[in-house]
């Protein structure tokens, strides 16, 4: 009995269409789409920047040109409004704002960094409740506490005192600073901390020599945001100061009158007041972008 073998089946060549589809590459924007996307981006950016640009443009106008309807774009520029603002004595107000802003930022860093470090690296029990308590203080309307603060400042004889504003601005910015710094601490690789602890470094040593160099962009971003909040704060300054400790927002209010035109002078004062923060932000923009984007890309 002989075994029979079936003839081998013929191999049918597979057409390229029947092959498994390869991974699709992302579609590249067309030659028309790239310029359109660029123009759209610039248009959106101009919409957001246009109020600041119009403020700077109005600062170089005469008061009569600033009140025209429709607004006048072509005019003869002048520096008279800037000289008027400088002659009005802006420098003492700038000095008070610098003291309040830099002093509160330094206190925020000194208090916020250890607190955020403890809540991220070595958290205590109910740390989430502690964090919620910090941020809940920002939910209280400022107008609800101004009367108790005014009475307490009057009893302590610290009304119209720049150091009162330093403490209030520190308390105002500390909750948001702790939340920001804690998020930055959580993005630091734990392997770095463990390696330092294996080498025998204490917790303060780990914080000072290991964490802070890595955290520099995040700290810079936090400090800049706190400086912006303190520099622009108006409610505490206008209610708790008079002449000795008044800041630049209070100075700017003096240009608003009901007897004459003031738009150009107010725009010139706002332009001069905005320059310090704009310059600081421009210098620290690289650190600010790195700090705000920490942990965004793994």
- Could you tell me which residue, 162 or 192, shows the higher pLDDT? 162
Per-residue model confidence (pLDDT) at position 235: 92
Give the range among 16-25, 115-124, 240-249, 274-283 with minimum mean pLDDT.
16-25
Q: Is residue 130 part of a domain?
A: yes
Cα gap 157→255, rounded to integer Å: 29
CATH of the domain at 244: 1.10.3720.10
Q: pLDDT category, 110, cuts 50, 70, 90? A: very high
Mean pLDDT of 3-8: 50
- What distances in angstroms separate CA 4 from CA 10, 23, 168, 233, one per listed residue? 18, 45, 100, 98
Residue 164 has pLDDT above 90, yes or no: yes
* 51: in domain: no
Q: Of the candidates 32, 66, 165, 59, which has an alpha carbon nearest to the alpha carbon of residue 107? A: 165
Confidence (pLDDT) at 247: 93
Give how many domains the chain has, as a whole number. Answer: 1
Name the more confident of 292 and 113: 113
Rounded to the nearest 10 degrees, the angle between the axes of helix 263-283 and helix 212-232 is 180
Tell me, yes or no, whether 20 lies in a domain.
no
In angstroms, rounded to a whole number, what is the distance separating the alpha carbons of residues 31 and 289?
Answer: 30
* Full domain range(s) for residue 181: 82-292
* 158-170 per-residue burial string, b: 16 or more CB within 10 A, e: under 16: bbebbebbbebbb
Of residues 177, 154, 173, the one with CA closest to residue 164: 154
Question: Does a cis peptide bond (omega within 30 degrees of 0) precede residue 70?
Answer: yes
113 or 10, which is more confident: 113
The CA-based angle 109-179-209, given to 5 degrees, is 45
pLDDT above 90 for 173 = yes
Q: Which residue has the higher pLDDT, 30 or 138?
A: 138
Q: Is residue 107 part of a domain?
A: yes
pLDDT at res. 195? 82
Q: What is the pLDDT of residue 122?
A: 67
Identify whether 171 is part of a domain.
yes
Note whether 185 and 206 are within 8 A (CB). Answer: no
pLDDT of residue 248: 92
pLDDT at 19: 47
* CA proximity to 281, closest of 52, 57, 65, 108: 52
DSSP for residue 248: H
pLDDT at residue 296 in the model: 47
Average pLDDT score, the chain:
81
pLDDT of residue 236: 93
Give 3-state DSSP helix, strand, coil % of the chain, rounded to 5.
70, 0, 30
Which of 33, 59, 96 is CA-nearest to residue 250?
Answer: 96
Domain annotation covers residue 298: no
Cα three-residue angle 186-187-190, rounded to 5 degrees: 75
User: How confident is residue 161, by pLDDT bands cut at 50, 70 and 90?
Assistant: very high
* Residue 156, domain member (yes or no): yes
Average pLDDT over residues 47-71: 88
Least confident of 22-26, 50-54, 113-117, 275-279: 22-26
Per-residue DSSP letter, 135: H
Residue 279 lies in a domain: yes
pLDDT tens digits, one per residue of 215-246: 888 888 889 889 999 999 999 999 999 888 99
What letter would DSSP give residue 262? -
pLDDT beyond 90 at 180: no
Residue 215: exposure state from Cβ atoms within 10 A (0-12, 13-18, ≥19): buried
DSSP 61: S
Mean of pLDDT values over 18-31: 53
Average pLDDT over residues 77-98: 90
Give the 3-state secondary structure of residue 72.
coil
């Amino acid at each position: 009995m002989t075994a029979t073998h079936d003839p081998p089946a013929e191999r049918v060549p597979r057409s390229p269409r029947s092959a498994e589809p390869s991974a699709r590459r992302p579609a590249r924007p067309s030659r028309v789409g790239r310029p359109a996307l660029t123009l759209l981006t610039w248009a959106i950016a101009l919409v957001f920047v246009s109020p600041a640009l119009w403020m700077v443009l109005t600062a170089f106008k005469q008061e009569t040109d600033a009140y025209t309807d429709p607004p006048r774009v072509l005019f003869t520029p002048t520096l008279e409004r800037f000289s008027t603002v400088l002659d009005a004595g802006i420098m003492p107000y700038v000095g008070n704002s610098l003291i309040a802003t830099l002093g509160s930022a330094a206190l925020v860093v000194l208090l916020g960094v250890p607190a955020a470090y403890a809540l991220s690296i070595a958290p205590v029990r109910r740390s989430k409740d502690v964090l919620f308590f910090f941020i809940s203080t920002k939910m209280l309307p400022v107008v609800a506490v101004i009367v108790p603060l005014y009475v307490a400042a009057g009893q302590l004889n610290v009304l119209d005192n720049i150091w009162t504003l330093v403490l209030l601005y520190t308390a105002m910015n500390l909750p948001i600073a702790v939340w920001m710094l804690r998020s930055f601490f959580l993005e630091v690789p734990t392997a770095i901390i463990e390696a330092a602890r294996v080498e025998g470094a204490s917790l303060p040593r780990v914080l000072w020599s290991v964490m802070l160099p890595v955290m520099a962009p995040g700290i810079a971003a936090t400090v800049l945001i706190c400086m912006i909040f303190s520099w622009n704060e108006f409610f505490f300054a206008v209610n708790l100061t008079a002449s000795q400790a008044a800041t630049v927002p209070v100075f700017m209010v003096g240009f608003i009158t009901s007897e004459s035109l003031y738009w150009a002078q107010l725009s010139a004062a706002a332009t001069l007041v905005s320059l310090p923060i704009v310059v600081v932000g421009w210098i620290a923009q690289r650190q600010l972008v790195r700090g705000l984007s920490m942990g965004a890309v793994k």
